[in-house]
Amino acid sequence: MSTFEELKRRAAKAAVPRSLSESAHCATVGAAPETHRGDIFVGACIDTWSSLGFCAEHAAAAAMLTAGQNEIKRTVAIHHSGQVLAPAGVPRVHHPTVPSNLDTQTLVNNTDTATLRELLPHRWHAD
Instruction: Provide the 3-class DSSP secondary structure of residue 16.
Output: coil
C-alpha to C-alpha distances, 49 to 25, 46, 75, 102, nearest whole angstrom = 9, 10, 28, 32
Looking at residue 125, the DSSP 8-state letter turns out to be: S
Cα 127 from Cα 125, distance rounded (Å): 7
Identify the CATH number of the domain defined by range 4-119: 3.40.140.10
- Which pLDDT tens digit goes with each residue over 56-99? 998 998 899 999 998 999 999 999 999 999 876 555 555 566 77
pLDDT, position 116: 82
pLDDT, position 30: 95
Give yes or no for residue 115 having a pLDDT over 80.
yes
pTM of the model: 0.87
Percentage of residues in the chain with pLDDT exceeding 70?
A: 84
Give yes or no for residue 101 having a pLDDT over 90.
no
Q: What is the DSSP string of 29-56?
A: EEEEEEETTS-B--EEEEEETTS--B-H
